Amino acid sequence: MSGNSFGTIFRITTFGESHGAALGVVIDGVPAGIKIDRDFIKQEMARRRPGQSALTTARQEEDEVEILSGVLEDVSTGTPLAMMIRNTSQRSKDYSDLENIFRPGHADFGFYSKYGIRDVRGGGRSSGRETCARVAAGAVAKMMLAAYGIKICAYAAEIAGVKAETFDQSEIEKNPARSPDPVAAAAMIAAVADARAAQDSVGGVVKCFIDNVPAGWGEPVFDKLDARLAQAMISLGGVKGIEFGDGFAAAKARGSQNNDFMLPGGEFASNHAGGIAGGLSTGARIEFSLAVKPTPSISQEQMTVDKAGEPRRITITGRHDPCIVPRIIPVVEAMAAIVLADFALMQRCARIGNN
């Protein structure tokens, strides 16, 4: 276990580098009997794909998912479900200029320090391209969770300081910002264009909510539902913070304000907790927010050093997202689904009466 696996029973193991032969994922622990809808996987992949709009990179990636095992006549069989995405669009670019130099804001120096060797082509394993394996796995998790009626939705709550002020879920996938507020979306898009024109990049805030998770999911004390969601989300490149429910605002509230009173019928009078108390789902809507940093790859000249520790100046060329918020949204949903699929199975083991 060197970090490329995630989950206890519904367990994903991903592989692949930005410019290697292929990326992929093996999901062990997929229950038998799930209807596998290949079109749905394709749709989810398309949501993550670059080149969708001016907000994202113009790179074209096909991201075609091939199912290698675990599915028979479109039904999961209980054996490992492996999926592979070929890398097809990597150009035969010359990366030799990056070989000895560390890009600011990237994992370059960390990887070199750790392994003594580094795949400089497109960031190698530390590229955001790694997340396509997560989205493929998340699509399977979503299909499993559909049997529980669970629905997951993530969206851009803020980009470049522009906040969504209204919420209309049906708007989210209609604009390139993935904002539930079409007016704010326009402002967000303009702000990204400004940054790009200035050879710069911007960040934002992604919000995610999950409905219909029964009460009691999560495993005390280290694998609490929020703890595992936090690991899952912070493991995404560029996510620098997470808060559940009121989050940092709760730090300023009093207990009498922050406690969510329970009402007859299993409802709550409020949901400051974001649907999780003591690490277990309460049955209320699960809600969390993520801080997404501005893309570190910018085309203006930056200072850095090379392997020898000598000062260098670097200008990052190529096609990069001026803002990764829109493209990280399907990945956030995918990771949420993967966390929940695992807890759905763990939940079956909580009581002796279940056998």
Residues of span 102-141 touching a copy of itself by CB under 8 A: 102, 104-119, 124-126, 130
- Residue of the chain from 52, 53, 77, 100 that contacts a copy of itself (CB under 8 A): 77
Q: Which stretch binds a copy of itself (CB under 8 A): 53-61, 167-175, 182-190, 344-352?
A: 344-352
3-state SS class at 195: helix
Contact flag: residue 264 with a copy of itself (CB under 8 A)? yes
Residues numbered 239-258 forming contacts with a copy of itself, rule: CB under 8 A? 240-258
Contact flag: residue 92 with a copy of itself (CB under 8 A)? no
Of residues 170 and 252, the one with the C-beta less far from a copy of itself: 252
- How long, in residues, is the chain? 355
Contact flag: residue 185 with a copy of itself (CB under 8 A)? no
Q: Which stretch binds a copy of itself (CB under 8 A): 55-63, 92-100, 179-187, 193-201?
A: 193-201
Phi, psi of 47 (to 5 degrees): -65, -30
Binding mask 16-55 for a copy of itself (x = CB under 8 A): xx--xxxxx-x-xx-xxxx---------------------
Distances (CA, A) of 87 to 62, 63, 98, 256: 8, 8, 21, 54
Q: What is the dihedral of CA 258, 262, 267, 273, to 10 degrees?
A: 30
Token code pair at residue 189: 């898009």
Contact flag: residue 144 with a copy of itself (CB under 8 A)? yes
Contact flag: residue 179 with a copy of itself (CB under 8 A)? no
**Cis bond upstream, residue 120 (ω within 30):** no
Residue 246 and residue 141: Cα distance in Å, rounded? 27
Nearest Cα to Cα of residue 237 among 110, 339, 328, 354: 328
Size of site (CB under 8 A) for a copy of itself: 164
**Cross-strand partners of 288:** 208, 244
- Residue of the chain from 38, 93, 174, 348 that contacts a copy of itself (CB under 8 A): 348
